[in-house]
Amino acid sequence: MKPKLVTFDCAQTLLEVDWQVGRFALRCAREAGLDLGEDAANRYEQLYYTRHAHYLELNKSRDSAACDAFWQQVTRDWMFAEGFDPAEWQPKVQAISDEIGFSKNSQIFKVFPDVFPCLDRLAESGIKVAIISNWDYSLHRILTALGLKDRFDLVVASLEEGFEKPDPRIFIQTLEKLGVSPRESLHVGDDALDDLKGARDVGMRAVLIDRKLTSPLPPYISSLDQLFGAFEWSA
C-alpha cells in the first residue's frame, strides 16, 4: 500500500555523518593554525556539557542567532583556557567551521547518493515527505547548505521540540501538522529503538536502512532504491 507520507530520520539515513563535538572543534582549531593536543577535544566537550541545560533551552526558543552565539562563546572560552587569544583565533576557527562543517562542501555531513533519486520518485508519486531527527537547530542550516531543505514538507529537529525519538509526541506532532494518519505513513531510519519501535508504537509503518547489508530482509532495506518495494511488505 502506497503511503501518503514518508518520514525520514536524518543522520546515517539521509546523511553520512562524522560528528563528535570535541573532535570537530579540535580539527577546526588545528586547521586554523593552533597547536593543540588530543586532550583539548575532551576539554571542549566538558566545557560544552557544563552548559548543556542552557543550550537545550536555547534550542526550544528557536533563536538561531542565540544558538550561534552560544557556540561562539564556548569556543572563545575554550581557546582562552588553552592559552590562546580568542579575539585573534576565534574568527579564523569559525570560518573553517562554517566551510568544513556547514557548507555545500561539508566534510562532516554528506548526502548519500540514493537520497535525491528517492526524493524525486516520491515527489513524482505525490507522496509527502518529512524529516524527524534527533538533532539541534543546525539541522535546518545543514539541509539548506546541502540542497535538501526545500525538498521536504516539514523538518522536525528534536531539540527544538523538547522531546526526541522514540518519544511518541515527536511522531504524532509531525503527523498532525501534515494532516496524515499513522497508518497512512511510513518512517525510515537506522535505529531499531528510535526509528522502528518509535514509529510503530504510534501506529506508523516503519523500515530500517542498513547500507552494509548485502541481502536485506524485512524490516531492513540496504538502499533507498528499495523503499518502494518496502511499501508492500511494510503494510
pLDDT for residue 144: 98
Q: What is the largest CA-CA distance in the chain?
A: 61
Contact 188, 164 (CB under 8 A): no
pLDDT for residue 132: 98
List C-alpha distances in Å: 9 to 30, 31, 114, 199, 205: 32, 31, 14, 11, 14
pTM of the entire predicted model? 0.95
Contact 9, 208 (CB under 8 A): no
Neighbouring-strand partners of residue 6: 129, 186
Which residue in 11, 207, 2, 213 sits closest to 110, CA to CA? 11
pLDDT for residue 1: 85
Question: Residue type for 90, please?
Answer: Q
Give the length of the chain.
235
Contact 178, 190 (CB under 8 A): no
pLDDT for residue 210: 98
Return the exposure string of 166-183: e unless at least 16 CB atoms fall within 10 Å of the residue's CB, then b.
bbbebbebbbeebebebe
pLDDT for residue 47: 98
Low-confidence ranges of the chain (pLDDT < 50): none
pLDDT for residue 234: 82
Contact 218, 233 (CB under 8 A): yes
CATH number of 5-17+108-233: 3.40.50.1000
Neighbouring-strand partners of residue 209: 221
pLDDT for residue 188: 98
pLDDT for residue 147: 98
